[in-house]
């Protein structure tokens, strides 16, 4: 499925997922549904800008993320609170300006070492991230996601499990 037009030129939010540190992520924990009709005003504006569905309808994506992950969060009966918390956490650190200060800039084929990306994030946020990449036919590694982990309260960033599927040289695509 192609991406929708006018994709933001910044890192956006994919989700806020609970973890039990065993490698298994709990999912679909309660039957509380997200009434997308209640997403209005500033919250809706922020969600559209920061948590867009890059492949389809925003409301469906937010509902899915709520159903799968939010229902297992520390607020399993407060979908609007969960969405707002996810945005608040995401906006604590903007990744592109952090990268720019280290001269890591999006480019169609320039590579950066995994070590440089990790140390740049560590230098700014003081935690080890998880990196996720996709590969082309030539096995070039393109950064897809940077995952930042939080403690159980959602207030403090912590080191992630150092898993990553990226090679040593990573392209930060445009």
Q: Which residues are designated catalytic?
A: 14, 65, 69
The Cα–Cα gap between 75 and 78 comes to 5
Secondary structure of the chain in HEC code, one letter for each residue: CCCCCCCCCCCCCCCCCCCCCCCCCCCCCCCCCCCHHHCCHHHHHHHHHHCCCCCCCHHHHHHHHHHHCHHHCCCCCCHHHHHHHHHHHHCCCCHHHHHHHCCCCCCCCCEEEHHHHHHHHHHHHCCCCEEEEEECCCCCEEEEEEECEECCCCCCEECCCCCECCCCEEECCC
- For 144, the token pair is 């897809």
């Amino acid at each position: 499925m192609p991406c929708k037009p006018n994709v933001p030129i910044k890192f956006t939010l994919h989700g806020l997922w609970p973890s039990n540190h065993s490698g298994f992520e709990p999912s679909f924990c309660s039957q509380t549904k997200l009434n997308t009709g209640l997403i209005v005003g500033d919250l809706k504006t922020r969600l559209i800008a920061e948590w867009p569905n890059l492949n389809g309808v925003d409301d469906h994506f937010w509902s899915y993320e709520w159903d799968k992950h939010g229902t297992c969060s520390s607020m399993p009966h407060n979908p609007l609170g969960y969405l707002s918390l996810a945005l608040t956490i995401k906006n604590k650190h903007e990744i592109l300006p952090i990268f720019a200060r280290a001269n890591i800039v999006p480019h169609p084929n320039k590579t950066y070492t995994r070590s440089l990306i990790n140390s740049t994030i560590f230098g700014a946020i003081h935690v080890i991230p998880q990196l996720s990449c996709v590969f082309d036919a030539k096995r070039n590694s393109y950064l897809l996601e940077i995952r930042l982990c939080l403690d159980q309260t959602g207030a403090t960033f912590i080191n992630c499990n150092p898993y990553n599927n990226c090679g040593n040289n990573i392209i930060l695509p445009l």
